[in-house]
Every structure is written in structure tokens, then in C-alpha cells.
Structure 1
Amino acid sequence: MRRAALATAVLACTALGATLLPSAAQAADTPLRDLAAAKGVYVGNAVAGGKLSGNAQYSGVAGTQFNSLTPENAMKWGSVEPTRGSFNWAEADQIVAFAQAHNQQVRGHTLVWHSQNPSWLTNGGFGATELRGILQQHIATEVGRYQGKIYAWDVLNELFNEDGTYRSSPWYGTLGVGFVADSLTWAHQADPAAKLYINDYNVEGLGAKSDALYNLVRSLKAQGAPIDGVGFQAHFILGQLPSTLQANLQRFADLGVDVAITELDVRMQTPATDAKLAQQGSDYATVVKACLAVTRCRGITAWDVSDADSWVPSVFSGYGAATLYDEGYQPKPAYRAVATALGGTVSPSPSTSASTSPTPTTSPSPTATATASPTAGTSSPPAGNRCTAAYSVPNQWNTGFSGSVTVSCPAGASLSSWHLDWDFTAGQQLTQAWSGVCTQSGKHVSCANATWNGVVGAGGSVTLGFNGTWAGSNPAPVVTLS
């Protein structure tokens, strides 16, 4: 993303006290990640750590629908090194751990950018030798920390102005164009297995800016610099996709590098209407099809999980509704268009032009109808403690489902650790869990807090997430909190 002013707004999050049911259509659909994997690509999204731990709807969608995650702000320089030589890895580590628990890859974003840098860096007045050393050390430290855990890095972000000239930045102004190859080299030295990308916006179609990027990549390849891919952000306006998108992706691929759609959203003037949402679905499908048509296109990453999380309204006045999910975390026509473009078959949905979440439809499948009903199990709080646990199923499909248990404490109550027990009475089987440690023996499931989320303060909550399988029915169990 390209606006420094977004950092505070994007990182802010609200813990939700209730979980809405997915529509029956969503419950019956195959997750996007599975459809994408069958096509040999990934489908990802940008996430914030606070929402992964504080919003069950958000984490449920992020964990089940996508097989790649991009930290939205957590790995940017201003977030990880706010003071020179002093690093804060908490949110970045949390996202990486979530991805590992969900069998997802991570795109590191971003190491070298003109924006969202700490004031000590932008106002430091460093000379070329010192600045080069600072840059090298930062790249080595961050990439080295996540060696083997990051599939690809957006090493360099937004290098060019619209006319194809280099953007003014501390790096270009002090170090000259050589900082580009140097940054790639240092990243490669820190993690030789990671794929290294240059990422930019408004380069999706043919034009002066994309030509400048093309010429840079060609030059880097000729130099032998370790450049593996080019990321095309794809922040589009409704109905204004470049007609040369596929051809442009292909010409970069022909240079011998991978390409990827890295920050896809399609904004519209609000309020949304059925016609606008239909056009948005068509736009999303066009992007997916363009990627699938280019052999070296590795995947598509959407930017922000839902319209409730999107950066767009805070930057583009009067615009919004840019993502795959509405503000109630219900799938929009764009979600269904992406699924169809990936080869899936999706259930029909009601109109989603209203500002509230659409009313769930009834699935035509008897099995899906029978299993879409679980919302919450009851809780048995320990004696002397008014904290409670609520079981929910944010997402369910075919023979799989994503569940969560939210442990909440009201004012005047707290926990230093927590333990959950329940029985799956219909033969459900746990397959993976995150934000906690779970085991299953027969029908009995036992889960304890992770090392980092045992404390639940007064008025606070934590959420355990998990995936499982079911056959026949999937009733909500009674959960015991101890």
C-alpha cells in the first residue's frame, strides 16, 4: 500500500463480541485456496495481527480462504525498527505463526520504500556511507530473522513516478540507482531461498511507468542481480482495468522473472449497487484470468479481508466497497467471480447492495442445510470466575469447517491462563489449530492457550481457531472453560 498516513488507521482494530453465520452459499463453497492450488497458483490477502487475534470473523476468513498472507504493515521499516537498532517483531511474528498454523505461505512486505519509515531515518541527514550501512543492516536483520519462513519478499516498493522517472526517496537521492541491485543482493545473502520482488502500482498496463520498470528488470537481469519477480499491486477503479494487463504480465515473464498480483482491490463510488457489484465481480475475474493465462504468474493477493478493513475509504473520499467480502464478512459477487474464474462452482447469493450483511440463503443441498446451523455452544465457566467461552463455526464447506472458541472476561474478571474441553459427538475430527495447542482423543478435544495469549484481562478476549472435518452433521459442542 502506498500511503504512510494509513498506518495508524489500518492497524487499529475492534474485538467483536459476536460471530455472524456465513451464508449457506458460502458454507457450501470450496475455499478459494483449494481452487487456486488446483490451478497451480496461490490466492492471498493482506492481514493485520491484531485482527487475527481479536476478530473471529476476520481470522476465520483469513485462515480458511487463503493460502498466502501478506503483513499489511507489520514488516514495514517504521513498524519493526521505530528506533535505530531497536526492533519490534511482535506483530510480524504473530502473522508468521498464524500462517504456519494454517499451512500458508508469507509474502514479506516491504524492506525498502520511500514511505512509512521512522523519523530517525527520514530526518537523520545521513551521508552515503552511513546510509548504505543502515540499509544493509536493516535488510540483513529482517530477512535473516525470517529465513526459511518467507516465500517471497517485496524487497523494493514503488520506485517510479508516473512518467517513469525515479521517485524521490532517501535511497535514490543519497545512494543513486545502485541501491536497487544492492538491496536485492543483501536480501539474497540473508535468505538465498526467498524469492525477491520489486513491487509497484500503476504498472499493470503498458505505459511510461511500466516501461521504466521493465527496463530496470531487464538491466538487473543483465547485471546478474538476484531479481526473481515483479509484483503488480492492482489497486483498480471499477470498470477501469487496463486492456493490456495480460500482455504486460507476459512481457515481464518473458524476461525470465515471475509475476504476481500483489495488492488487488477494485474500488467504487459508494453506495454500492447490484450493478456496481456485478461489474466489480467481472473486474476481479478479469484479473484472475489474466494471471492464469501467464505461465509464470504465481498468484493473486487481495488487499484487505473485507470492506470493514479496507484502506480505501480513508484515502479516496466517496469510494469504498473494494474487497471480496462486505462489512459483515459475507462473500460478495466478487468472491463468487474469483471462485468461478478459478474453476469453482458457487451457490447463488442474494443481493449485497445493502449496507448490512445479506440474509443467508437456504442451500439446495440437504447436507449443507443440515450442517449450516451451528452457531455457538454453551459455556461452563469455572467456579468463582465469570469468564466464558463461546464456540462458533465461521465457515463450513463440503466435508470441512473452520471453528473458533472465544474466551471472554467481563469487567472484574480475568485469567492468567485458560484450558478448553469439549466432545465432538458427531464424529468430527480436528485437523489443525492456531492461537492455542489442541489434541483430540476419540471424540474428546482438549485445548490450552499458546505461550503468548494465556492472559485474558478484564473486559478482554482471545480467540482459539481450528479447522476440522465432518460427515453427516456438525452440531456445536458444549465447551468447558477451566
Structure 2
Amino acid sequence: MPLPRLRLVALAAGAALLLTPLAPAGAAEPGSLDALAAAQGRRFGTAVDDAGLADPAYTTVAAREFGRVTPANAMKWDAVEPRQGAFSFARGDALVDFARAHGQQVRGHTLVWHSQLPGWVAALPAAQVRGAMENHIAQVAGHWKGKIHTWDVVNEPFNDDGTFRTTSPFYAAMGEDYIAYAFRAARAADPDAKLYLNDYNTEGSGAKADAMYRLASRLKAQGVPLDGVGFQVHLATQYGFPYGMQANLQRFADLGLDVAITELDVRMPLPVDAAKTAVQNDYYRRAVEACLGVTRCESVTVWDFTDKYSWVPSAFPGQGSAALYDEQYRPKAAYDAVRQALGGGTTPPDTRAPSAPVGLTATAAGATSATLAWQAATDDTGVTGYDVYRDGARVGSAAATSYTDTGLSPSTAYRWTVRARDAAGNVSAASAEATATTAPGGGGAPGLVVQHRVNDQSATDNQIKPGLRLVNRGGAAADLSRVTLRYWFTGDGGSSSFSAWCDYAAVGCGAVREKVVALPAGRPGADHYLEVSFASGSLAAGASTGEIQLRVNKTDWSAFTEADDHSYRVASSYADAPKVTAYVDGVLVHGIEP
């Protein structure tokens, strides 16, 4: 295969499916990809992104279409044992709970991998590596014993040329024997789980596939408890389809092993066009057919199902559109190609309306505007937007779950409702009404609005980096020395002391004061808030403070999980933020507290 393709796949997140105690075949809805695969004696799964579990549109499709889920990152070494002997299972538990609630199996990924390791592993003396590895396997596989159908025990042991990765701290300490040690430790920790090797660029014939075959043969001959081999199958339209894929899978099956496609996607150079789409459809179809052609190929898993959370654009700049669904959860032609390969025909028409939005609130932001917020609606193919109605008339639309209604009259009561819509044009019923009365003109609180964007695209690292901007939509200047802002978040364990920083401010960091305040009692989505105030200054009517880049970390630099924070929102550009609050002389003038 062409060398660039080998490098591409080397960056893959090294997937593996998490499986719970064997769920009944066809646990997903009738007509779903998993139900179609079950009719062929297979299962169909997807990798699941942590952030997706907080996205109702994402979880709707994940629960409907797939009978297996794989954690994209939540069970890797840096997530579960960031410090030696200190284990954190919350992220993986959330995925397992989701799977069990929806009758899905889980494929555990991954116990031993050279990548995404915390630094302490590589720093260990060679004589201590085996003990640390076996303890890690015992604790992790033992924690989820009985809930994981299959473990990727050892992930990506080979270089592209079929030689062992000598840079792996496990190989450096133990040589090839680390693989057998790992499998025996996994069997001891969870005797009922299926145990797999997993690697990329081994799906077609070639030196790396031959090396994997020789390794699997040796392990079987030595009595190592190897149950199967996983083939990642990260493909790209600019490279050829793997040569002899079905025959290659079959030779592993002939060793008495199960085989599985564990991380299927097909990326393309952007922009998308008809020719690339045709190749993508063909590759998806042929990969599924290769599995169906091998009796012991027990499952196909895509490496996430939507472009919204695909790993491809960050790993391969200029490439994308690799998944079965687009960013708005609309099934693409590739989805139909997979359905047809499974014997299910094309996508049925979408006639189901989204659910009505719930939890609508309205907060007057001064005399002439109000901020609305609501919970996301759900839909079988994904909500694409919301329409906002004031006193029965449509006044605007929003892509997310908030909206600022402007141009209102002072001292006036208003009523709002919201409806959700999907890509097929189906519209939900109206939400329950929310009401608010604007402040009096002139003497009321200034029309201050807080805007927000994220300056850090990771919601699970060791820093919170909100960007805030204060806008004056009122009719008079605001005295900034009387204004405070609050960004609400949860500490998520670790140290209870925090540091707060201003990295940049258009008004100058010297004019900005920041501190972290602990709440006396936790609230939904918050047990602390970052408070921002101003030493002095005046904000003219119609003006903005400009960007204020802020940063929060715990003094022990442990990780946050931001997706469930009250003020967190995924946004790369500034927009009104109804869950970041503003106060004048301690009185709430913008936003909703948790």
C-alpha cells in the first residue's frame, strides 16, 4: 500500500469496542444497521466520543442504529491511570452505563498501547514495567469485569514494515513477551471477555499483515488466550482498496480465531465531490462485504458515525467527510451503501418530527432585550435548528439552544415559545411558554449581554479556557467597576484549590480581575464559578469590551470534564451566552444561574 496511507492510519486513535454482557441480537431498532447485521449473524457498532454523550441528537442515533459501542478515548491508559496507582473510571463508566441502558454491547479499548500513555510509564525502570502493566490490566479489566464483551488487549504492536515497535516502553522492557504477559493478565482479570489483538494496515495482504499472522500463529501455539484479531480499516479515497482483504481475514479465521473490523472509516481530500463520494461508497460497501464473506468475521464497527465528532480533520488537515452521517446527523450516500451491503436497501424517508424543546426560560437583559435558553430537542436523524416565536409570531432562529431577542420595549411583558426542525423539514410542537418583563427605560439595569467562545477544543484536559466578551446593548454607558461576570463549572475531583489567569484582554489584563469561588453547596453543572471584574472603565452604549481570554487550572493540574458544566458550550466564535451571568452591584442583569 502507498506509504502516505500507512502514515495516516498510524495516527489513528487505536479503537476497540466495549461490549457489555451479551445483548440480544438486534438490540437496536428494527431496520437499523445493527438489526440488518444481526440478520447476517454479525453485529454493527460505532466508536463513541465523550462529548457526544452530552449531545441528545448524537445519542439518539447512537442508540437507534448500533448494537455495540467503543470508547474513543475513555478507557485508554492516560484516561484511567494518569498517575501510577491512581485510577479514574468515570468516563468509561458513563459509556458503559449508556450501552447497558440501550441493550448494547461494549468493546473495551485498549489495555496496552504505546500511545496515549501518561509520562510516568515511560519513566519507569525496565524492571518495573511488567508489574505496572499487569497491575493496570488487573485493575481496569477487573473494574469492568462482566460488562465488557471484548477487549483490545494489545493495540498496534507493529511498525508499518512489520517489525515490532521497539520504541514502545513495553517492548523495550520485555521484548515480544509483553504481548503474551498482557493476554494472560487480561484472562485472569476477566475470564469471560473475548481478547483481541488490534492494528491498522493489516486488513490487506502485505508485510504488516504477514507479521500479524505470524504473531497470532505463535501465540496460539504457545497457548496464549488469544480469541481474535481486529482490523482497523481506516481507508482513504485517494488510495486503493486493500488488496485481498477477504482472503486475508479468512486466513486468520482459519487459525481458529474470530476476526472483526474495528475502526472503519473512509476519508477524502476536501472539498467533497461526486467522484470521491462514489469511491467512498464503494469502499464502505466492499469492506462490509469482506466481513460478510468470512464466517468468523463477527462484527463491523465504524470509527464514529458522524462527521461532527470525526477524528479525521484534526489528524489529516484538508481531509474529512469520513463518516456515515454528516455534521447535522443526516445519513450520507455511504450509509445507504452500507445498508445495501447488509441487504437492507436505502434510507427510509424521514417523516418523524423532532420532540418539542423543553425547559425554555426567558431572562430580561435590561430594557430592550431578553435572553432565551432551552434544552436540546431530539430527533431520529438530528435536529438542525430552532425557530423562536414571540407572542405567537416568528422572530428568529438559532442553531444552538439559546437566543437573544432584541428591539423590545421597556417595561413590557412578552411571551416566547420555541419549535425544533430537522433536515427533512419536519417541525416539532411548540415548547411551553416562557415569559419575562423588560426593565424600565433609562433607570433600569444597562442592557449588558455576555458572549462566549471556547479557546480550547478539548473538554477533558487540565485547563478551562473560556473567552468572554461583554456587550452593552442598552441606551446608556455602563460603569465597568460595578460589573462582575461569572462562568460556572465543576471541579471534577482532584485538588480543591484553583489558579485563574487572564491570558489576553482587549482592555488590558491589568484592568481585569479574576478569581475562582467555591459554592457552599453544589448545583447542577457547577460547584465553582470563575468571577471576572473590572478595576475601572466605562462601556459605551453599543460598545464591547472586546475579547477577554481566561484560563483556570487546578493546582495539581488534574483533568476537568467540561461537557456537563453549566456555562460550557461548544462554540469557536462569539455568541450570546445565556449561562454565563452578569451582575451590576451584585444584581443579576444577564443570564441564568445554575
Fold agreement, TM-score > 0.5:
yes
Q: Distance in 2 between matches of 1:4 and 1:267?
A: 14
Distance 1:127 1:34, change over 3 A: same
Match of 2:353 in 1: 373
Residue in 2 aligned with 1:191? 190
Aligned-partner Cα distance in 1 for 2:401–2:276: 39
Contact kept, 8 Å, 1:112 with 1:157, in 2: the verdict is: yes
Aligned with 2:157 (options 159, 180, 183): 159
User: Which stretch has the larger CA shift, 176-185 or 245-254?
Assistant: 176-185
Query: Counterpart in 2 of 1:466?
Result: none
How many pairs are equivalent?
370
Report if the CA contact (8 A) 2:34-2:67 is conserved.
Answer: yes
Deviation by residue 1:437-463 (Cα, 9 ceiling, x = unmatched): xxxxxxxxxxxxxxxx982454469xx
1:393 aligns with 2:392: no
Q: 2:117 and 2:347 mapped to 1: Cα distance?
A: 45
CA contact (8 A) 2:36 2:344 kept: yes
Correspondence for 1:281: 281
Residue from 126, 146, 149 that aligns with 1:148: 146
CA contact (8 A) 2:157 2:199 kept: yes
In 1: Cα distance, 2:320 partner to 2:361 partner: 42
- TM value normalised by structure 1: 0.71
**1:72 Cα offset (Å):** 0.6
Instruction: Compare relative contact order (CA 8 Å, sep 6+) and give the higher one, 1 or 2.
Output: 1
Over 3 Å counting, the alpha-carbon distance change for 1:5 and 1:378 in structure 2 is closer
RMSD of aligned alpha carbons = 3.1
Q: Secondary structure at the match of 1:135?
A: helix
Q: How does 1:428-443 map to 2 (within 5 A)?
A: none
Letter matched to residue 40 of structure 1:
G
Give the TM-score normalised by the residue count of structure 2: 0.58
Q: Which runs of 5+ in 1 are unaligned?
A: 8-27, 349-362, 397-406, 412-452, 462-482
Q: Which residue of 2 aligns with 1:72?
A: 72
Q: Deviations over 1:413-439 (max 9, x none)?
A: xxxxxxxxxxxxxxxxxxxxxxxxxxx
Indicate the residue corresponding to 2:119 in structure 1. Answer: 119
Q: CA deviation at 1:166?
A: 0.7
Q: Is the 8 A contact 1:267 1:312 kept in 2?
A: yes
Match for residue 326 of structure 2?
Answer: 326
Deviations 1:241-280 (A, max 9, x none): 1130000000000000000001111111111112211221
Residue deviations 1:355-376 (CA, integer Å, cap 9, x gap): xxxxxxxx4xxxx64xx23452
1:260 is aligned to 2:246 = no
**Is this contact kept in 1: 2:201–2:209, CA < 8 A?**
yes
Identical aligned pairs, as a percentage?
49
* 1:96-107 paired onto structure 2 within 5 Å: 96-107=96-107
Structure 1 residues 204 and 2: alpha-carbon distance in aligned structure 2, compared to 1, 3 A threshold: closer
Task: Give secondary structure in 2 for the equivalent of 1:198.
Answer: strand
Distance 2:361 2:118 in 1: 45
Specify the structure having the higher radius of gyration (Cα). Answer: 2
Counterpart position of 2:21: none
SS of 1:392's equivalent? Answer: coil
Q: 1:392 to 1:454 in 2, by over 3 A?
A: farther
Are 1:309 and 2:272 matched, yes or no? no
CA drift at 1:219? 0.7
Counterpart code for 1:232:
F
CA distance in structure 2 between the partners assigned to 1:288 and 1:316 by the alignment? 24
1:223 deviates by 0.7
Which amino acid in structure 2 is aligned with residue 192 of structure 1? P
| Structure 2 residue identity aligned to 1:394 | D
2:281 partner amino acid: G
After TM superposition, the structure 1 = structure 2 runs for residues 51-70 of structure 1, keeping only pairs within 5 Å, are: 51-53=52-54, 55-70=55-70
Offset, 1:382: 12
Contact 2:9/2:234 (CA < 8 Å) preserved in 1? no
CA–CA separation in structure 2 for the residues paired with 1:342 and 1:208: 31
Structure showing the higher strand proportion among its residues: 2
Task: Tell me, in whole angstroms, the C-alpha distance in 1 between the residues paired with 2:13 and 2:192.
Answer: 31
How far off is 1:320 after superposition?
1.2
Shift of 1:377: 4.6
TM-aligned CA distance change 1:6 to 1:245, over 3 Å: closer
- SS of the residue corresponding to residue 142 of structure 1 reads helix
Are the aligned partners of 1:409 and 1:460 in contact in 2 as well (CA < 8 Å)? no
Tell me how far apart the structure 2 counterparts of residues 6 and 228 of structure 1 sit (CA, whole Å). 22
Measured after TM superposition, the shift of residue 2 of structure 1 is 6.5
Deviation track 1:286-343 (CA, whole Å, cap 9, x = no partner) reads: 0001101100001111112211211112222321111111122111111111011111
Distance 1:166 1:37 in 2: 36
Distance in 2, Cα, partners of 1:197 & 1:183 = 11
Task: Choose between structure 1 and 2: higher helix proportion.
Answer: 1
